Chain A
Amino acid sequence: MRSGEESAERAVSQGSIAARLGLVLALLLAIGAGLIATLAFAYGRDAAQQAYDRLLLGAARQIADAAAPLDGRVVVDLPHSAFELLALSPDDRVVYAVFGPDGRIATGYDLPRPEQAAEGFHNGEITGEKARFAVSPRLFAERDFSGPVTVVVGQTTRARDALARQITERALVIMGLAALFMVLLAIFATRSALDPLTRIGREIAGRRPTDLTPITTPVPREIARLVGAMNRFMARLARQAEATGTIIADASHQLRTPIAALRAQAELAAEESDPERTRAIIGRIHDRSVTLSRLTDQMLSRALIIHRADAVPREVIDLRAVAVQATAETDHDLLASAADLELDLPDEPVHCLGDALSLSEASKNLLFNALRHGRAPVTISVRSEAGAAVLAVTDTGPGMPREIWADAATRFARSSGVSRTSAGLGLSIVAEVARAHGGELRFGHTPAGHFEVALALPLAEAAP
């Protein structure tokens, strides 16, 4: 189904990064805005309060200054300038009163006498409107007049409220602009941060289907890990694709000729009337079939090993068990007698990390080669030496000539003995297994002068 395909191709979306960042930023801005608005309001109120309190007190002091005793009474020549000062808050109502030492009002409005004796401020009302009052006392000590004259000046709070509002509003406007700037900056930052992802996406989308080379686009450190993982993943894909390609190429190249030969022999046999010759042809057909079967086995096991090298998790394996298994599974038709195959195992286990099946397959190949091409008796031995777990197969023959050692492990190498009965895949499988396990395939001679082929793998600690 097309829709199914599409949904399979589409990545599982877990929301947008930009949306998440936006949400977090919005939350941050909202909290910040609330905080700053509260502060701005408090600041605006305080600033306006202070500014207008000074005017109010200034006016009260001027009136107090204008008070003078006359015939035992307080006389005030109400100063114009005091009211000019108060008129700086143009739309506010004003009340004032001057109290003599006896607490009676000398002039002004009928206000209650202030409780405090010291200079200061208090809040109140002027006929139903919120107001602020300043008190300014002045002490007289004359012969006929002594005591405090107290001036109270009150003013409604329109101007100071307006100033507080104005300060708050300006602060909020500035904050709004800052928030807008931050949002723009955040959008820009998010875009530029996510830009490498877009570039990688574009690079991958623009590739040929067979291109599995690593991504080389320069990316920030945070994304490099992702790109590294992708590169490793693609390398694995590339190896498997290559292995698959190799198998297909091998199959087409190697199987065609023996199958064609088989068919020709079979046709010959069908036309042959002489029973003696017919039997000879059938014998050849059987030989060829065995070779073909062996070749197919090897090719499939090689493919399997290459597949397992990447696909199967490693476990701790005792090489002694591998050697025993390989010995048990070896085709006993190849042995002239049971004494031809010897097992030489240490008492202590020799551990390595690996895939049991691959290792056992590799060991069987080594054994097969030794039995087929070497001279009996053949010994399979396991040992640990210099940090390596070694599984070695020795025979008593001369072994492979030294000059073909380097080439012996490549598949279908002529020199490694491609013949009617062997495609020469055996050593290449062993070499593949060694490579997949991080080890190597070694050729050499024992101190006794016997030819030895060894699989050397990194030694592993035994599992706890």
Chain B
Amino acid sequence: MNLAAHVIALVLPALAWAQPGPEAVATYGEGPASYRILLRGALDIGNLDPAMRAFTAENPEIAVTLEQWNTNDLAAIAAAACRGDAPPADLVMSSAVDQQVKLVNDGCAQPYTSPATLALPPERNWRGELFGLTRESAVMVYNRALVPPEDAPVSRFDLLDLLRRDDGAYRGRVATYDIEASGIGYLFAFLDSTQATTFGRLIEAFGRTGAVATCCSAEIVDAVGRGDYLIGYNVLRPYAMARAEMNPNIGVVAPSDYTLVLSRAAFIPKAAPSPGAAGALIDFLLHPAGQRALTDTFVNEPEAAATVRGGAAIRYVPLNPVLLVGLDRQKRAQLLALWRRTFPPGR
């Protein structure tokens, strides 16, 4: 196979004091590539791997370096690159769409137009600079072996009921994002807070039952699979599905009261060295072949599948400045204060 991909996984310990940097790096494409583009993404390299292989096979003149980042670190380095304090990437991709919108709003992106971007619906294309490449939903996961079928939650109301049970079976056994550490976690919490009054009761129940806030989607799903936690709340579906495929104990539920659906959003930084090649990558990912490759790793879900599933009410998160509200200094402080009261540090 002439399209060998080198995956160098530099799994760094996710320690609080760690210097911001990529969690892992992979390179695709070899031989005399004219362009080498740098894709910084808040993603699992594994989720994007087939798509990258297909892209470099189709475009041998382009080689791709793929960096896997934590959402907050990614936003920080993209902002630094925008100020000129860090080397710029050619494409920045993240599911923390609020941070992406803020970067574009702050003038860090350059416009890109192609038939594929023009075909996007307005909620997935902001200013011709920020493009929603995928459809991903926020789901709940639970351990099929440890949660009896009659307890399996279908909606947030079910989850509330489980947390309020007198027998305390779920006390300390429910996990969700640490919204301070994870951009996507913060986004989900913010969106929950704007969507329904359920959020207040949920936070209150989390606090009362000692729910666990932890870092990342992958970590939560793995822990649920192992049985460390019984239920994980607000997990990105791609991570859940990828692990549910290997571990039949992991059950995935799209909440039927409402399911948040967002698009992993990408933009080409203003100072990108090879914006044309980055545009080609955007076009490829939006192309049916690219979308199929993303669907295979669950990063994308077909629209039909999303709407049919359990009659869940889809709340699509459009790419627009409304997302800036959650990033407001005071708003964030208020939400984090509420969060800290619920999940006191050091527990």
A83 touching B107 in the complex, CB below 8 Å, given contacts A75-B330, A77-B334, A108-B328: no
The reply to whether B324 and A128 form a contact with Cβ atoms under 8 Å apart is: no
Contact with B along A79-107 (1 / 0, CB 8 A): 11001101100111111000000000011
User: Residue A217 at the B interface, CB < 8 A?
Assistant: no
Closest chain A residue to B327, Cβ basis? A78
* Residues 321-347 of B contacting A (Cβ, < 8 Å): 321-322, 324-325, 328-331, 334
* Most chain A C-beta atoms within 10 Å of own C-beta, residue among B106, B107, B322: B322
Encode contact with B along A132-173: 1 for CB under 8 Å, 0 otherwise: 000000000000000000000000001000000000000000
Instruction: Tell me which of B105, B122, B331, B334 contacts A94 (CB under 8 A).
Output: B105
Asked whether B330 lies within 8 Å of A106 as measured between CB atoms, the reply is yes
Closest-CB distance, B232 to chain A (whole angstroms): 27
Contact A93:B127 (CB < 8 A) given known A78-B331, A128-B107 = yes
Are A107 and B324 in touch, CB under 8 angstroms? no
* Interface SS of B by simple majority: helix
Q: Are the CB atoms of B107 and A93 closer together than 8 Å?
A: yes
Contact between B331 and A87 (Cβ–Cβ < 8 Å)? no
Closest CB of chain B to A87's CB: distance in Å? 4
Does B19 touch A at the CB level, under 8 Å?
no
Q: Interface residues of A: mostly helix, strand, loop or mixed?
A: mixed
- Complex Cα distance, B107 from A80, in Å, reads 22
Q: Is the CB of B122 within 8 A of A77?
A: no
The answer to whether A127 and B106 touch across the interface, beta carbons within 8 angstroms, is: yes
Which of A80, A91, A106 is close to B325, meaning CB atoms less than 8 Å apart?
A80
Partner of B107, one of A79, A92, A129: A129
B73-111 to A contact mask, C-beta < 8 Å, 1/0 = 000000000000000000000000000000011110000
Q: Is the CB of A91 within 8 A of B127?
A: yes
The 8 Å CB contact of A83, one of B122, B324, B329, is B324
Interface positions, chain A 55-95, Cβ under 8 Å from B, are 75-80, 83-84, 86-87, 90-95
Minimal beta-carbon separation of B290 from chain A (angstroms):
25
A contact residues around B194 at 8 Å (CB): 80
Q: Tell whether A80 pairs with B330 under 8 Å between CB atoms, given A93-B127, A128-B107.
A: no
Q: Which residues in A have their C-beta under 8 angstroms from that of B329?
A: 107-108
B324 adjacent to A94 (CB under 8 Å):
yes
Q: Which residues, 33 to 49 on A, are CB-close (under 8 Å) to B?
A: none
Q: Does chain A have a CB within 8 A of B320?
A: yes
| Residues from chain B with Cβ under 8 Å of A93 in the complex | 104-107, 127, 321
B239–chain A nearest beta-carbon distance, Å: 28
Asked if A90 contacts B122 (CB within 8 A), the reply is yes
Residues of A within 8 A of B321 (CB): 83, 86-87, 92-94
For residue B167, give the distance in angstroms from its CB to the closest CB of chain A: 38
- When chains A and B are docked, how far (Å) is the Cα of A80 from the Cα of B334? 15
Q: Contact check, B331 vs A77: say whether CB atoms are below 8 A apart.
A: yes
- Given the complex, which residues of B lie within 8 Å of A77, measured CB to CB? 330-331, 334
Q: How far is the CB of A69 from chain B (nearest CB, A)?
A: 13
Q: Which residue of A lies closest to B105 (CB)?
A: A93
- The answer to whether B107 touches A127, judged by C-beta atoms less than 8 angstroms apart, is yes
Cβ of A107 and Cβ of B330 under 8 Å apart? yes
Q: With A and B bound together, what is the CA distance between A91 and B331 in angstroms?
A: 24
Chain A, 100-134, CB within 8 A of any chain B CB: 106-108, 126-129
Residue from A78, A84, A90, A126 in contact with B328 in the complex, judged by beta carbons closer than 8 Å:
A78
Hey, which chain B residues are within 8 Å of A106, CB to CB? Answer: 330
* A156: nearest chain-B partner, CB-CB: B127
Does B131 count as interface, using CB distance less than 8 angstroms? no
Is B172 interfacial (CB-CB < 8 Å)? no
> Across the interface, which residues of A come within 8 angstroms of B106, CB to CB?
93, 127
Interface positions, chain A 180-209, Cβ under 8 Å from B, are none
Query: By CB atoms of chain B within 10 A, which of A86, A93, A126 has the most?
Result: A93
Complex Cα spacing A95 to B324, Å:
9
- B227 contacts partner chain A, Cβ-Cβ < 8 Å: no
Q: A83-B322, A126-B107 are in contact. Are A91 and B330 (CB under 8 A)?
A: no
Chain B residues with CB under 8 A of A94? 105, 321, 324
Q: C-beta contact mask, B296-325 vs A, less than 8 Å → 1, else 0?
A: 000000000000000000000000111011
Residues of A within 8 A of B322 (CB): 80, 83-84, 86-87
Given contacts A78-B330, A80-B325, contact A91 B128 (CB under 8 A): yes
Within 8 Å CB of B107, what residues of A?
93, 126-129
- Determine whether the beta carbon of B330 is less than 8 Å from that of A83: no
Interface contact A78-B325, CB-CB below 8 Å: yes
A75 to B337, CA, bound (A): 14
C-alpha gap A95/B101 in the complex (Å)? 12
> In the complex, what's the smallest C-beta–C-beta distance from B199 to chain A, in angstroms?
13
Residue of B nearest to A75 (CB): B330
Q: Does B126 contact A (CB under 8 A)?
A: yes
Asked whether A91 and B126 contact (CB < 8 A) given A80-B194, A83-B321, A127-B106, the answer is yes
Closest chain A residue, CB of each to CB of B128: A91
CB distance from A83 to the nearest CB of B (A): 4
Closest-CB distance, A95 to chain B (whole angstroms): 8
Bound: A95/B107 CA distance, A: 11
Q: How far is A75 from B104 in the complex, measured between Cα atoms in Å?
A: 26
Smallest CB separation, A362 vs chain B (Å): 100
Known contacts A83-B322, A93-B105, A126-B107; A76/B122 CB under 8 A: no
- Residues 37-89 of B contacting A (Cβ, < 8 Å): none
A301 to B37 CA separation, bound complex (whole angstroms): 116
Residue in chain B with minimal CB distance to A74: B330
Residues of chain B within 8 A (CB-CB) of A75 are: 330
Minimum C-beta distance from A205 to chain B (A):
65
B328 A87 Cβ-Cβ under 8 A: no
A228 → B minimal CB distance (Å)? 71
Cα–Cα, bound, A90→B325 (Å):
16
CB contacts (< 8 Å) of A129 on chain B: these are 107
How far, in whole Å, are A167 and B53 apart by their CA atoms in the complex? Answer: 48
C-alpha spacing A197/B158, complex, angstroms? 94
How far is it, in angstroms, between the C-alpha of A76 and the C-alpha of B325 when the chains are bound? 11
Q: What are 5 A-B residue pairs whose CB atoms fall within 8 Å in the complex?
A: A76-B328, A78-B331, A86-B322, A87-B322, A93-B105
A-to-B contact residues, CB < 8 Å: 75-80, 83-84, 86-87, 90-95, 106-108, 126-129, 158
5 nearest A-B pairs in the assembled complex, by CB-CB distance: A127-B107, A94-B321, A107-B330, A83-B322, A78-B328
Please name 15 further chain A to chain B contacts, defined as beta carbons within 8 Å, in addition to the given A77-B330, A93-B107, A127-B107, sorted by A numbering. Answer: A75-B330, A78-B328, A78-B330, A78-B331, A79-B325, A80-B322, A80-B325, A83-B325, A90-B126, A91-B128, A92-B127, A93-B127, A93-B321, A94-B105, A94-B321
